[in-house]
């Protein structure tokens, strides 16, 4: 899933603008990382989201967290899943949770 698109109005004209989802490869069809630097007016800053399922649950962090999440995925630790390491990363950065994010559970 390399990109997801959203609509942005440029000069009153609706345009599909892709979020970056190919920068962080999760290796799973069930969750992905999405970077959005287009909707700063909506979210207040650029954002990085951990998207679970078919967009059923989205944890959105303010800023660019691709490197941190990529590091969680590439760790060679068989005791903890890649997703659990990414969820732990989001919890560690809960002060940066965007107001439009689902809550951390």
Tell me the whole-structure pTM to 2 decimals: 0.79
CB 52 within 8 A of CB 37: no
Task: State pLDDT tens for residues 34-47.
Answer: 998 877 778 888 99
**Rounded to the nearest 5 degrees, what angle is found at the Cα of 38, between the Cα atoms of 34 and 39?**
90
Q: How many CB atoms lie within 10 A of CB 60?
A: 21
Q: How far is CA 38 from CA 12, 63, 78, in A?
A: 16, 12, 36
| pLDDT over 70 at 11, yes or no | no
| pLDDT over 60 at 59, yes or no | yes
* Helix (H) or strand (E) run with residue 74 in it: helix 66-74
């Amino acid at each position: 899933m390399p990109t997801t698109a959203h609509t942005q109005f440029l000069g009153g004209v609706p345009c599909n603008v892709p979020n970056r989802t190919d920068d962080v490869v999760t290796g799973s069809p069930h969750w992905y990382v999405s970077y959005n630097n287009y909707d700063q007016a909506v979210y207040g800053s650029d954002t990085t989201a951990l998207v679970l399922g078919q967009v059923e649950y989205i944890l959105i962090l303010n800023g660019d967290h691709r490197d941190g999440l990529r590091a969680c995925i590439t760790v060679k630790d068989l005791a903890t899943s890649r997703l659990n390491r990414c969820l732990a990363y989001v919890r560690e950065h809960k002060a940066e949770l965007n107001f439009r994010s689902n809550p951390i559970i």
